[in-house]
Structure 1
Amino acid sequence: MSAADAPSTPHPAPRRPLTLLALSHACVDVHQGAVAALVPFFVAERAYTYAAASGIVLAASLLSSVVQPLFGALTDKWAMPWLLPVSTLVGGGGVALAGVGGSYAVTLLVVAVSGVGVAAYHPEAARVARQASRGSHTAMSWFSLGGNVGFATAPLLVSAVVATGGLRASPLLVLPALAGAVLCVAALRDLKVRDVAAPETATRRGGPVAAEDDWPSFLKLSGAVICRSIVFTGLSTFIALYVRERTGAGEVAGTAALFVLYVGGAVGTVAGGRLAARHGRLPVVRWSYALTVLAVAGVVLVPGPALYVFVALTSAGLYVPFSLHITLGQDYLPRRMGTASGVTLGLTVSIGGLASPVLGAVADAASLRTALAPLIVLPALGWLLLRTLREPDPAVGNSA
């Protein structure tokens, strides 16, 4: 264990509110994952082209990418716990309306509204979870795990609802949002979050003065996360269609591949927290990006059922550093933890959706394999950006 990771908090993180926050995170990210899971059904039921279908993913990402740093900046100045249940309902409501009616423009609009809800949730949720975790990497990995479980559940939920009732059954997808809003309220009540002030507020009240922000390191980290985001979003959008094309199997095979991509994150995220406590965050993150280069190459180049193995390895490579991105970003910007959370957990993740229409256009013009091939290079670029980073001083005492 490195010095930066040595336990320095006198009390363990409270388990019940962190569990409730993790579960609410799952309910929110069900709807983020549901957008990509709906793509094959839009292609099949509405005869959308690859470019048109990927435009729906773009709609969920674009507005979210723009407003997420704004919500992060706001949470740096004021604690806004009410955002958690409200944003959960907005995120779920947009996805629930995505299959209603046949208008492409309306579908884009409601999915964009869902993206705003997701954008509003993450910065405040990450700030509250970080303070509730008292800086523990492992505790933050459990919070991040909730989101990954939501992603993993999304294709199964969407398949069960839409395969049975068609796209018009999409209003049933609001149910996780209702549950998530209740969980948010319960978690905030446990934490008495009104007493958990935003960093600037705490400083004004005479709390400890945070270290200086390290913007150059934060920007390098953000660049790496963008590379990771493009790979993840590109595969999320097209892996189901790609596997069906490569294996000659039906919808179940494609849904299974998307599930493997998502569910591997459940193991990877928790493993990332534990590995970081033992070996340090940056070595773990760098090795994860290196693994992702080889894994994505396998997805693109290896034929047949073995493709599922490389999908699983890609999932591990993408998810092991997931919660570590958040805590690294917060420690690089200790005075702006909401902004750091909004960027590392939100902007740089959702910005990957901006590349989806480009990939879709290439797939329409050439093939899905040609469109996915450039994704092999991006984790290598991320690794190069991470190579020069140093371990930051912890903003909150880090522990295992």
Structure 2
Amino acid sequence: MQKNALAANAAPNMPAPTAAAGGIQRTVYSVLGAISFSHLLNDMIQSLVLAIYPMLKANFSLSFAQVGLITLTYQITASLLQPLVGIYTDKRPQPYSLPVGMGFTLSGLLLMSVAPSFGVLLVAAALVGCGSSVFHPESSRVARMASGGRYGLAQSLFQVGGNAGTSLGPLLAALVIIPHGQRSIAWFSVAALVAIVVLAQVGRWYNRHPATKKKARVRAGHPSLSRQRVALAIGVLVLLVFSKYFYLASINSYFTFYLIDKFHLSVQAAQIHLFVFLASVAAGTIVGGPIGDRVGRKYVIWVSILGVAPFTLLLPYANLFWTSVLTVLIGLVLASAFSAILVYAQELIPGNVGMVAGLFFGFAFGLGGIGAAVLGKLADVTSIDYVYKVCSFLPLIGILTVLLPDVEQKRQARAA
């Protein structure tokens, strides 16, 4: 009793991870809130980089292809390392890796604020990518550990923090960085320091969790499906993530340029529109997980990916008013997919939470980087308007959802 009391007092804001009656753990909302808040700060910093592209393009006389290369450097760094981090931590949990990863992000942010050349910008982007490669697999694991079995809800709460942070980046860039210049990027190091403090507390809770004291059995695939069926399902999920994040790359990296070119908006006005889109993504994220827990994740994937196609197909032909409306609808519908895809994949390959999270977060970042580079080159050769006409067809890939097995029905049948 004395030992338990001391453990509970070690981190007063985060209750010790104890099992409830019947061996069922409760949902630890304080931990989910802390990891979601840290995700907000982490992704806010990342989106600042994307939001200041017009300023960097002007300051360093960059082409669209070079702008895409900055995104590629950051996101490829994150995508290549994330699955490796996940595989390693599945076998050897690292509770205090979260604040260490945020330290890389802090370093990249400070370096970017004083970068004298394009090459140094790329190094700074790579450091931010390294921070993300550690943060996302481990924080996704923490969300699942704190879920109390409500995996979709936990992933949605975790994701909504990231999407909210992503939406804040352009707004803060418009209000702070654009008026005050490149060196004002360093002011946001305070956010990284706050995240390090919060993540240190999360690490203490994680370190006391029973999952860190024993090695879970790692299975190769879902017990009711053949390896070939699991591999096919993972392949379909990868293509769905491709359609989602390649399209998002067109918005995140080039939407401000599109609005400036087509509607002659100022940089700040265009960034406000980007903020509205990203805010709608944050709002839509919270819906997918709980609905997936209740009605099934496959249905959420259907609606989220394929259901957004009519809006993306209309976007290149809309005026400014309808562009604003359509981008909000696109953000709301498309946002719900990732939480459902991630939890669905973790159920396909049980016992590999970190590896699956690292694979899909990493793949999402990698596709965003490749998409930014490819679309930047396409924009240089053709036009920004043509880029959005090409990307409008990507959500039609959602028809492949028909190939996914009904994993949740199989699990319910076994339980009965």
Q: State the TM-score, normalized to the length of structure 2.
A: 0.86
**Rg larger in structure:** 2
Which amino acid in the other structure matches residue 313 of structure 1? Answer: L
CA distance 1:282–1:350, change in 2 (3 Å): same
Q: Does 1:166 align with 2:181?
A: yes
2:57 alignment counterpart = 43
> Out of 64, 78, 81, which is 1:64 matched to?
78
Deviation at residue 348 of structure 1 after TM alignment: 2.6
1:285 alignment counterpart = 301
Deviation at residue 270 of structure 1 after TM alignment: 0.9
Deviations 1:165-187 (A, max 9, x none): 20122212222211111111122
> Out of 202, 224, 242, which is 1:226 matched to?
242
Contact kept, 8 Å, 2:312 with 2:393, in 1: the verdict is: no
2:138 alignment counterpart = 124
C-alpha distance in 2 between matches for 1:144 and 1:180: 16
Q: Does 1:145 align with 2:160?
A: yes
Which amino acid in the other structure matches residue 105 of structure 1? Answer: G
Contact kept, 8 Å, 1:93 with 1:177, in 2: the verdict is: no
Q: Does 1:185 align with 2:200?
A: yes
Deviation at residue 295 of structure 1 after TM alignment: 2.0
C-alpha distance in 1 between matches for 2:345 and 2:365: 13
Percent of counterpart pairs with the same letter?
26
Structure 1 segment 1-400 matched on structure 2, within 5 A: 10-136=24-150, 137-193=152-208, 195-197=210-212, 201-203=215-217, 211-212=222-223, 214-381=230-397, 383-393=398-408
C-alpha distance in 1 between matches for 2:114 and 2:220: 51
SS of alignment partner, residue 97 of structure 1: helix
CA distance 1:221–1:161, change in 2 (3 Å): same
Deviations 1:267-321 (A, max 9, x none): 1111112322332111111111123212222332212222111111111122111
SS of alignment partner, residue 330 of structure 2: helix
C-alpha distance in 1 between matches for 2:411 and 2:208: 17
CA distance 1:240–1:150, change in 2 (3 Å): same
C-alpha distance in 2 between matches for 1:57 and 1:394: 40
CA distance 1:225–1:392, change in 2 (3 Å): same
C-alpha distance in 2 between matches for 1:81 and 1:386: 35
Moved over 6 A (4+): 394-397
CA distance 1:391–1:12, change in 2 (3 Å): farther
Deviations 1:345-372 (A, max 9, x none): 2323432211212211121222101122
C-alpha distance in 2 between matches for 1:305 and 1:209: 50
Deviations 1:137-190 (A, max 9, x none): 222211111111111111122223312320122212222211111111122334
Unmatched 5+ stretches in structure 1: 1-7
CA distance 1:395–1:91, change in 2 (3 Å): farther
Deviation at residue 264 of structure 1 after TM alignment: 0.8
Which amino acid in the other structure matches residue 84 of structure 1? Answer: L
Contact kept, 8 Å, 2:44 with 2:169, in 1: the verdict is: yes
C-alpha distance in 2 between matches for 1:286 and 1:161: 39
RMSD: 2.5
Q: Give the stretch that moved more between structures: 347-356 or 282-291.
A: 347-356
